[in-house]
Amino acid sequence: MIEIICNDRLGKKVRVKCEPDDTIGDFKMLLAKHIGTDPEKIVLKKGTSTLNDRVTIDDYEIGNGSSLELYYR
């Protein structure tokens, strides 16, 4: 179990626990439950690259304590 920090750049940081073999789509569903929005409206970025829903967290080399940028469509 790892914990990932999502920052929406408006001062809101959310910590979400997940498994490294979860896909980004699975992670978006967990995040959506925490922030109360639709997972389809969430866009996650690591640096300048947008994360694909079908790729696993481990494949993006996201580990415990990593931070992702949270955007809304």
pTM for the complete prediction?
Answer: 0.93
DSSP string, 14-56: EEEEE-TTSBHHHHHHHHHHHHTS-GGGEEEEETTEEPPTTSB
pLDDT tens column, 10-69 = 888 999 999 999 999 999 999 999 999 999 999 999 999 999 999 999 999 999 999 999
Cα distance from N-terminal residue to C-terminal residue, the chain: 28
Provide the token pair at 21.
């073999």
Asked whether the beta carbons of 70 and 14 are under 8 A apart, the reply is yes
DSSP 63: -
- Domains in the chain, ordered, with CATH? 2-72 (3.10.20.90)
